[in-house]
């Protein structure tokens, strides 16, 4: 029988920290045993905020190497860099054309980051969840490991797939039943590590943007 497919990824922004290991990569290693696994370095997401291109290129390769060092086995999992697959951007544009603007404006992470960026907030930051939806839907993922802070983004991906694509454009089989175009993914929220708190401020999530958490990191954006 075919195994359920899992897709996940981490931004290549600075050094991976303990929260990335506990909340994501450690679980990915275990998922290889029971699922068809796809793990992406999501570098296109990283350019939605100020960055240095040379540093981002280096961090992208370093993040991929750390996946392997932490136990992701390329013989059992597909490991890739998001920007190397043009279909991510192509599907994102198609999804943009059917996604209501107000769905994106209500996203909590956009509101929080937009306040910090002020007048410099980009369209890319607003559109970030649509690209994330494209990442997921492109691979027919059955389940997506997400932290509590990412559950809203996955709900958006589900809504786009079900309400804006399948409900509008699905064909019908010989019996007249709708044939979905996109698979609607389910969240995979594990009981441990769903939200790893900061070692310096127990009221907030551990973040790459805190130089006290990750000494010497590029320090500007957490995993999103």
Instruction: Cite the active site residues.
Output: 113, 205, 208
What is the pairing mode between strands 178-179 and 171-172?
Answer: antiparallel
Distance CA 82, CA 80 (A): 6
CB neighbours (10 Å) of residue 195?
A: 13
Name the one residue in this structure whose structure tokens are 């100020």. 50
Distance CA 58, CA 95 (A): 30
Which token pair is 151? Answer: 């559950």
DSSP string, 68-102: HHTT--TTTEEEEEGGG-THHHHHHHHHHTTS-HH
């Amino acid at each position: 029988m075919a195994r359920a497919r899992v897709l996940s990824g981490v931004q290549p922004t600075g050094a991976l920290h303990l929260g990335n290991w506990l909340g994501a990569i450690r679980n990915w290693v275990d998922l290889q045993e029971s699922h068809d696994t796809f793990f992406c370095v999501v570098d296109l997401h990283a350019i939605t905020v100020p960055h240095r291109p040379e540093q981002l290129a280096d961090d992208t390769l370093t993040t991929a190497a750390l996946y392997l060092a932490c136990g992701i086995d390329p013989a059992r999992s597909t490991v890739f860099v998001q920007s190397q697959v043009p279909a991510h951007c192509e599907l994102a544009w198609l999804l943009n054309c059917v996604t209501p603007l107000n769905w994106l404006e209500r996203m909590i992470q956009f509101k929080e980051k937009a306040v910090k960026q002020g007048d410099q907030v980009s369209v890319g930051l607003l559109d970030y969840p649509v690209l994330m939806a494209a990442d997921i839907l492109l691979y027919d993922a059955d389940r997506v490991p997400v932290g509590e802070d990412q559950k809203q983004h996955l709900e958006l991906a589900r809504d786009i797939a079900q309400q804006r694509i399948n409900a509008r454009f699905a064909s019908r089989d010989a019996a007249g039943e709708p044939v979905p175009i996109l698979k609607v993914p389910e969240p995979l929220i594990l009981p441990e590590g769903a939200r790893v708190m900061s070692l310096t401020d127990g009221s907030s999530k551990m973040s790459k943007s805190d130089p006290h958490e990750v000494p010497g990191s590029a320090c500007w954006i957490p995993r999103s």
